Amino acid sequence: MTAVGTVWLPLLLAYAGTLAWCVERWNAPNGYFAHGFLVPLVMLLVLCSRRASWRTAAAAPDRRGLWLLAPALLLHFVGALLLIDSMSAATLVLAVPGAAWFVYGRARLRGLWPVLWLTVFLVPLPLFVEGRLAFTLKEVAVSGGSWLANLLGAGVVRDGDLLRPAGAQRGLFVAAACSGLRSLFAMGTLAYCLAFFVGAPSLWRRSLLLVVAAPAAILANVVRIAVLCLLARWVGVEFAEGTGHTLANIAEWVSLLALLLGLDRWLSRGGRGTSAGAVASGPVPAVPAVPAAVAPRRFGLARGWLWPVALLLSWLSFVRPAPAVGDRAERLPTTFAGYRLLPRSADAERRFRRDLPQFRDLLGTDDFVWRHYVDLDQRPLNVVLLFHDHNWKSVHPPRLCIEGSDMAIEADELVPLAGLDAGVLVSRIVARQRRTGARFVTLSVFGTRDWLSGDYWAFAWHHLPAAVLRRNESGFLLRVESKLENGELPAAAEARCAAFVRTVVPLLRGLLP
What's the predicted TM-score (pTM) here? 0.81
pLDDT of residue 324: 62
- pLDDT at 294 exceeding the cut of 70: no
Rounded to whole angstroms, the Cα distance separating 107 from 56 reads 10
Q: How many CB atoms lie within 10 A of CB 377?
A: 7
pLDDT tens-digit profile of 48-74?
998 887 778 778 889 999 999 999 999
pLDDT of residue 270: 64
Edge-to-edge strands, sheet with 172-173:
157-159, 162-164, 172-173
- pLDDT at 287 exceeding the cut of 80: no
Going by C-alpha positions, the residue among 253, 282, 261 that lies closest to residue 31 is: 253
Of 16-20, 59-63, 280-284, the range with the lowest mean pLDDT is 280-284
- pLDDT at 298 exceeding the cut of 50: no
Where exactly are the structural domains of the chain? 3-111+297-318, 128-269, 329-510
- pLDDT at 295 exceeding the cut of 80: no
Q: How do strand 335-336 and strand 172-173 relate by DSSP bridges?
A: unpaired
Rounded to whole angstroms, the Cα distance separating 507 from 210 reads 53
Rounded to whole angstroms, the Cα distance separating 200 from 54 reads 19
pLDDT of residue 405: 72
pLDDT of residue 414: 96
Any idea what DSSP says for residue 126? P
More confident residue, 256 or 289: 256
Of the pLDDT bands very low, low, confident and very high (cuts 50, 70, 90), residue 354 is confident
pLDDT of residue 349: 84
pLDDT of residue 292: 39
Rounded to whole angstroms, the Cα distance separating 21 from 18 reads 5
Mean pLDDT for the stretch of residues 1-30: 90
Q: Which of 212-221, 263-272, 427-436 has the highest mean pLDDT?
A: 212-221
Mean pLDDT for the stretch of residues 253-273: 84
Q: Which long-range contacts (CB under 8 A, 24 or more apart) does 309-315 make?
A: 309/10, 309/14, 309/73, 310/10, 310/11, 310/13, 310/14, 311/13, 312/77, 313/13, 313/14, 313/15, 313/73, 313/76, 313/77, 313/80, 314/13, 314/14, 314/16, 314/17
pLDDT of residue 279: 40
pLDDT of residue 1: 56
Of the pLDDT bands very low, low, confident and very high (cuts 50, 70, 90), residue 280 is very low
Mean pLDDT (the chain, rounded):
87
pLDDT tens-digit profile of 179-236?
899 999 999 999 999 999 988 888 999 999 999 999 999 999 999 999 999 999 999 9
Task: Kindly report the backbone phi and psi dihedral angles of residue 57, in degrees, each rounded to the nearest multiple of 5, phi listed first.
Answer: -100, 125
Per-residue CA distances from 23 to 38, 46, 193, 378 (Å): 11, 22, 21, 47
Of the pLDDT bands very low, low, confident and very high (cuts 50, 70, 90), residue 362 is low
Mean pLDDT for the stretch of residues 14-34: 92
More confident residue, 301 or 347: 347
Rounded to whole angstroms, the Cα distance separating 402 from 404 reads 5
pLDDT tens-digit profile of 469-507?
888 889 999 999 999 988 889 999 999 999 999 999 999
pLDDT tens-digit profile of 131-149?
778 888 988 999 999 999 9
Distance of alpha carbon 372 from the chain centroid:
27
pLDDT of residue 275: 41
Beta strands in 166-246 (DSSP E): 172-173
Q: For residues 177-208, b (16+ Cβ closer than 10 Å) or e, as one string? A: bbbbbbbbbbbbbbbbbbbbbebbbbeebbeb
